[in-house]
Amino acid sequence: MTANDVFFQRKQAAAVLKHGVLMRYPPVFATMTGSTSDGGRVVYLDGYAGPGRYEPEGDEAVGAPGSPLLAVRSATTIAKWSRDLHCIFVERKPQYAENLRQVLADEAGADLNYDVLDGDVQDRLDEALEIAGQSPLLAFLDPFGTALPYEMMTRQLMGRDSALKTEVLLNLNLEMVWRIGGLITGQEKDSEQTTSGNSATLERIDAFLGGDWWRDTFTAARESGEPGSAARAAQTVATEFRRRVLAATGFKSFSVPIRRRPHHPPLFLLILFFRHQAAPYQFNEAASGANAEWREHFRKIDLSEDLARRRREEPPDLFGEDLIISITEQEARDIEAELENGWVTTIASNIRNMLDQTSSLRIEESFADIYGATLGLAREKHLRRAWDQLHDTGFVHRRDTTQKIRRQTIRRRD
Ligand SMILES: C[S@@+](CC[C@H](N)C(=O)[O-])C[C@H]1O[C@@H](n2cnc3c(N)ncnc32)[C@H](O)[C@@H]1O
């Protein structure tokens, strides 16, 4: 059984956050970019598509939807708003590609446009870009390990005519970087130990990250050797990678960490590469909603583990279980409310500090600083509350409730 097979047998915790973002962001991208495209056509390229569905878990009749099913569901939803989301799926493993065709035949509406391309995304990229033509394109790259070589990602995908709307969503495997980075720190001790297999692995990462620069970056960042330093070094490599992509292509980026459990180091970074100013604001809305779902997912796992433990240790008491469930639900609501109040306080304090230096803040331009540490967690509703609180204290002018908040400017009262 391969790592792939294990992956698709159970919807992993990390997939909850990834899929939460995928349910939310592509429809927004398509709605925004499709307003000016021919026939409302927008293209979504899923370069590492998988079999379409996970294997059923427990007593489930069908498994959780994979990224392709989420995409065709989004396509069905936004068709109501005259957006034609054409999905292109590429999958290398023949058995998964076949399964994907079956899942889509069963579940995609008859009027949806989609293609399933077999084989390596590197070999099918030209064809996919030809299908995309002049339409806005959102490319999702979600391999297990390394994704498209850097040159292909930056020159072919991000190198599309700058008049065309293009975004790339890359799920960067940090755990892979820190595990493979371990080969270099080991290699430094005794270069004789480097096997040809390790060299091939290192070269694959070099191709993906755009050179072997990351080896020095990783080694330097790992120097302390403290627990967790490899995970932090992988994040340093990711930060430098994003900086290089920006310098080479002009694409800025916004990243959301994906963890197996709260307080664990991030295993993946879901990175959106974009040009348009509205993108990070909307992506943050998606990340915040997905993060709320992810917290709820863990709460339910913790609760079911707790109930299972009680059943083992104490005589069954179903009435007691109902009580425990309703108490934990109330507690969860209280914890969420407390978290959200904290975010509102942080955002209000960020706005106050920024308005001590300047008289006005354009939200779309400054939203990353406005959210600060709450980026990816808080969203517009929290920003609205923070603004209203600051208005109530007389510090800023009132917001315009008839306009989109992201297009507004917060002005200090003098
Ligand atoms: C992490 S899984 C994708 C999961 C899927 N995006 C989801 O969320 O449901 C990666 C998939 O990419 C496929 N794959 C790996 N390398 C590939 C390549 N070079 N070209 C196309 N597909 C590839 C694997 O067979 C696997 O099914």
* Residue at which a domain ends, from 241, 257, 290: 290
- Domain, as residue range, for 240: 3-290
- 257 shares a domain with 302: no
Sign of CA dihedral 299, 304, 307, 313: negative
> Using an 8 Å Cβ cutoff, are 86 and 134 in contact?
no
- 221 shares a domain with 299: no
* Residue owning the nearest CA to atom 8 of ligand 1: 67
- 186 shares a domain with 148: yes
Pocket test for ligand 1, best of 11, 69, 74, 91 (most atoms within 8 A of CB): 91
Return the ligand 1 atom nearest residue 48 CA: 12
Q: Above 60 in pLDDT, residue 297?
A: yes
Q: How far apart are CA 125 and CA 45, in angstroms?
A: 9
What's the 400 CA to ligand 1 centre distance in angstroms? 45
- 223 shares a domain with 120: yes
Higher pLDDT, 224 or 191: 224
Return the ligand 1 atom nearest residue 47 CA: 21
Residue 132: predicted pLDDT: 97
For β-strands 268-274 and 137-141, DSSP reports them as unpaired
Q: How far apart are CA 81 and CA 296, in angstroms?
A: 31
Give the global pTM.
0.90
pLDDT (tens digit, 9 = 90+) per residue, 87-115? Answer: 999 999 999 999 999 999 999 988 899 99
What's the 136 CA to ligand 1 centre distance in angstroms? 23
Q: How confident is residue 9, by pLDDT bands cut at 50, 70 and 90?
A: very low
Consecutive H or E run containing 250:
none
- 299 shares a domain with 274: no
Pocket test for ligand 1, best of 7, 22, 92 (most atoms within 8 A of CB): 92
Mean pLDDT, range 256-272, rounded to an integer: 87
Pocket test for ligand 1, best of 1, 48, 270 (most atoms within 8 A of CB): 48
Q: Which amino acid type is present at position 137? A: L
Q: What is the number of domains present in the chain? A: 2
Token pair in block for residue 225: 């050797």
* Residue owning the nearest CA to atom 18 of ligand 1: 120
Return the ligand 1 atom nearest residue 22 CA: 8
Q: Above 50 in pLDDT, residue 320?
A: yes
Return the ligand 1 atom nearest residue 120 CA: 20
Say how many residues make up the chain: 414
Return the ligand 1 atom nearest residue 4 CA: 26
Give percent of the chain above pLDDT 70.
93
- 306 shares a domain with 357: yes
Q: At what angle do helices 196-209 and 174-189 cross, to 10 degrees?
A: 130
pLDDT (tens digit, 9 = 90+) per residue, 132-149? Answer: 999 999 999 999 899 899
Return the ligand 1 atom nearest residue 65 CA: 9
Q: Above 90 in pLDDT, residue 395?
A: yes
- 238 shares a domain with 381: no
- 259 shares a domain with 325: no
Higher pLDDT, 302 or 151: 151
The angle subtended at Cα 191 by Cα 185 and Cα 197, nearest 5°, is 85
Q: Above 60 in pLDDT, residue 8?
A: no
Q: Above 80 in pLDDT, residue 414?
A: yes
3-state class percentages of the chain: helix first, strand second, coil last, to nearest 5 = 60, 15, 25
Q: How far apart are CA 390 and CA 51, in angstroms?
A: 50
Q: Above 80 in pLDDT, residue 14?
A: no
End-to-end CA distance of the chain: 67
* Residue owning the nearest CA to atom 10 of ligand 1: 143
Return the ligand 1 atom nearest residue 50 CA: 27
* Residue owning the nearest CA to atom 20 of ligand 1: 120
Return the ligand 1 atom nearest residue 51 CA: 27
- 345 shares a domain with 243: no
What's the 66 CA to ligand 1 centre distance in angstroms? 11
What's the 48 CA to ligand 1 centre distance in angstroms? 3
Q: Above 50 in pLDDT, residue 188?
A: no
- 236 shares a domain with 189: yes
Give DSSP secondary structure letters for 59-112. Answer: T-SSPPB-HHHHHHHHHHHHHTTT-EEEEEEEESSHHHHHHHHHHHHHHS-TT-
What's the 145 CA to ligand 1 centre distance in angstroms? 9
Pocket lining for ligand 1, CB < 6 angstroms: 4, 48-50, 66-67, 90-93, 96, 120-121, 142-144
Q: How confident is residue 190, by pLDDT bands cut at 50, 70 and 90?
A: very low
Q: What is the CATH number for 109?
A: 3.40.50.150
- 305 shares a domain with 286: no
The angle subtended at Cα 407 by Cα 405 and Cα 408, nearest 5°, is 65
- 300 shares a domain with 285: no
Residue 139: predicted pLDDT: 98
> Using an 8 Å Cβ cutoff, are 275 and 251 in contact?
yes
Q: Above 70 in pLDDT, residue 154?
A: yes
What's the 296 CA to ligand 1 centre distance in angstroms? 27
* Residue at which a domain ends, from 261, 290, 319: 290
Q: How far apart are CA 383 and CA 385, in angstroms?
A: 5
Higher pLDDT, 408 or 227: 408
* Residue at which a domain ends, from 290, 325, 343: 290
